[in-house]
Structure 1
Amino acid sequence: MKELFEIIKEHLSHMGIIMRLARYEDKANNQGNYLGMLWQFLNPAFQVGTYYLVFGLGLKSNGDPEAGVPYIVWMLFGLSTWFFMNGSFMAGISSITSKVAMVSKMKFPISILPTVRYVSELTSFWAMMAISFVSMLVAGVPITTHILQFFYYFFAMTALMFVFGIFNATINVLIPDYKMLMTSVMRLLFWASGAIWNISQLPPKIADVIKLNPFFYVVNGMRDSFLSQSWFWSADRIQYTIMFWAFVVGLGLVGSHLHMKFRSRFIDFI
């Protein structure tokens, strides 16, 4: 626990550097493109259009029939959240190995590099969430007090990406094949995230297993904030809330321990 708190302290004391590096990442990633940072929105927008054509129009999927929410609105909130988490997750894996020169000369803790990538990904997240919110209003979906728990789920998503970032970046230094493995795993988890289809259509036992997925917890929670009538402490959510935070704390402890144990030797491994 001491190691986890130490890494959190490093982040809080270097927040200014994190924000500056994130802005630099945004500019560097879009430097050679005519449309620049607009591609951070266009790429997910094209993917949203593809999934809607296939699942919304082709397979006639339903979002939340009981709440009367159109599929496109239901899907937008799910994909906006998933695209952000997937992008942050995969970028965090190589956040240390891709900065070999910086790691060898830096005067700030290596632990902040995964978080830099997380902050960099936020630009497209806010754009996609804004479009999702506007589509909700156009569709006539009412705004309720449940929208307040968006702040809770955003914090939960941040905590999940934070612990995954520390763990993934460390393991990727120790095991070079780790990113290839997780690329395949994330493709599988996409279908278990509930981003584009309602898992309530599955047999109850299978659906219960999928609900243990922390990515599903966040995706479903974001929808609860805007489209549903359920609080994260309600009877049908509380057990998953407890399991989610148990997972976050457990992964945070393991990831911070490995990071602090090996980070003085990262250059040797890289």
Structure 2
Amino acid sequence: MNNKKRKEKPALRQGVSKKTGLTIFTLVMLIMGVIIACYHNPLANQMDELIKKIIACTLIVVAVVAVLKFYDKIILLPFELYQNRRLIWRLAKNDFKRRYAGSYMGAIWAMVQPVVTVAMYYVVFQVIMPQKAQLLGDGIEVPYLVFLTAGLVPWFYFSEALTNGMMALLEYEYLVKKVVFKISILPIIKIIAATFIHGFFVLVLLAIAFLYGFTPSLYTLQIFYYSFCMFALVLAISYTTCSVVIYFRDLQQIVGIGLQIGMWATPVLWQLGTLSKKAQMLVKINPLVYIVEGYRSSIYEKQWFWEDFYSTMYFWIITVVLFCIGALVYKRLKVHFADIM
């Protein structure tokens, strides 16, 4: 009898936890929906504003329905990540060191790569094919090298983290076949390892901006926020790609081609303001636009992230939806990983 009671207590705690989690998530989504519905920008086009509200509220409903229906499957993933947070950090550092093991310069190669990349683009776009300074809406001219680097830094982070996260399960195949190992932590390990390189890339960006007269300010701290945005977005996508690539190896090539196209579809090499308002709305469906433009606003536009209200709400709603999809896909396909690999 006592054993039965002891067994029931964890179940009760789990039930209460589930109820509390569902209540908190639903309330947060509801509050976001109310804020979006009530928010009004007098300078914006009313029709454009209405379309943004409809899209945001639709995504909120999708996220709430998915979490209510598949709560147990979705919540298991973030719980495992939090539970193994120390192991994740240790393995991420080892993964970063292992990448350059055996070379004389070691991890220094990770710092050389961004410097060489920026130098190459400088030669191409400033020496061989000189580009004009980018003129912002408030009349500020931004040297093209600063404009370009501010776009390349987040894009290279996304490209490397997405590719590494997608291949995480295949690279650590020997761990996937171990029953006791939590393989759900493998994608985040690869993404954290890519973040180390991104950190040095950010320092290169700040140095270039400083040389052109854009001194760091409070706005610059937003780079931490936008880096976290990129981390969350890539993590959300990676659980879908790392699961599907085991069954469909051609996904690796498709993602590679998609990244090539995506670099031009995202305002990395060109300015978003050159497009019409309707074209801008279409391009902003891509959540990477929010991050790339955010890096630039942190360096030289002097704009806080909450000032672009709809873009901020849209980004986090779409990230939550993508994470829910990734968690469900991973949970559904996980049982056959060891058999197929």
What's the TM-score once normalised by structure 2's chain length? 0.73
Q: What are the within-5 Å matches in structure 2 for residues 1-270 of structure 1?
A: 1=67, 2=71, 3-57=73-127, 58-65=129-136, 66-105=139-178, 107-234=180-307, 237-270=308-341
Q: Per chain length, whose mean CA-contact separation is higher, i.e. which structure has more relative contact order (CA < 8 Å, sep 6+)?
A: 1
2:49 aligned partner = none
SS in 1 for 2:126: helix
In the TM superposition, residue 106 of structure 1 has moved relative to its aligned partner by: 5.9
In the TM superposition, residue 203 of structure 1 has moved relative to its aligned partner by: 4.1
In the TM superposition, residue 190 of structure 1 has moved relative to its aligned partner by: 1.0
Q: Which moved more, 1:142-151 or 1:66-75?
A: 142-151
Distance in 2 of aligned mates of 1:56 and 1:106 = 54
In the TM superposition, residue 197 of structure 1 has moved relative to its aligned partner by: 2.3
Letter matched to residue 287 of structure 2: P
In the TM superposition, residue 64 of structure 1 has moved relative to its aligned partner by: 4.6
1:71-105 CA deviation, whole Å, 9 max, x = no partner? 22222222121111110001111100121112112
1:103 to 1:61, Cα distance in 2 relative to 1, 3 A: farther
Letter matched to residue 331 of structure 2: M
Q: How much identity, in percent, do the aligned residues show?
A: 25
In the TM superposition, residue 198 of structure 1 has moved relative to its aligned partner by: 1.5
**Is this contact kept in 2: 1:62–1:197, CA < 8 A?**
no
SS in 2 for 1:34: coil
In the TM superposition, residue 61 of structure 1 has moved relative to its aligned partner by: 4.2
**Is this contact kept in 2: 1:157–1:218, CA < 8 A?**
yes
Letter matched to residue 257 of structure 1: L
Q: Which moved more, 1:199-208 or 1:260-269?
A: 199-208
Distance in 1 of aligned mates of 2:287 and 2:106 = 32
Structure 1 regions of 5+ residues with no counterpart? none
Distance in 2 of aligned mates of 1:89 and 1:61 = 32
**Is this contact kept in 1: 2:161–2:234, CA < 8 A?**
yes
Runs of 4+ in 1 over 6 A off after TM superposition: none
Q: Which moved more, 1:10-19 or 1:193-202?
A: 193-202
What's the TM-score once normalised by structure 1's chain length? 0.91
Which protein is bigger by CA-based radius of gyration? Answer: 2
| Count of paired positions | 268
Distance in 2 of aligned mates of 1:17 and 1:91 = 18
**Is this contact kept in 2: 1:78–1:219, CA < 8 A?**
yes
SS in 2 for 1:55: helix
Distance in 1 of aligned mates of 2:164 and 2:125 = 28
1:25-62 CA deviation, whole Å, 9 max, x = no partner? 12221113222112212223222222222233414143
Q: Please tell me the root mean square deviation across aligned C-alpha atoms, in Å.
A: 1.9
In the TM superposition, residue 155 of structure 1 has moved relative to its aligned partner by: 2.3
Distance in 2 of aligned mates of 1:189 and 1:41 = 25
SS in 1 for 2:172: helix
1:142-201 CA deviation, whole Å, 9 max, x = no partner? 434323433322221121011012111111122211111000001111112222321322
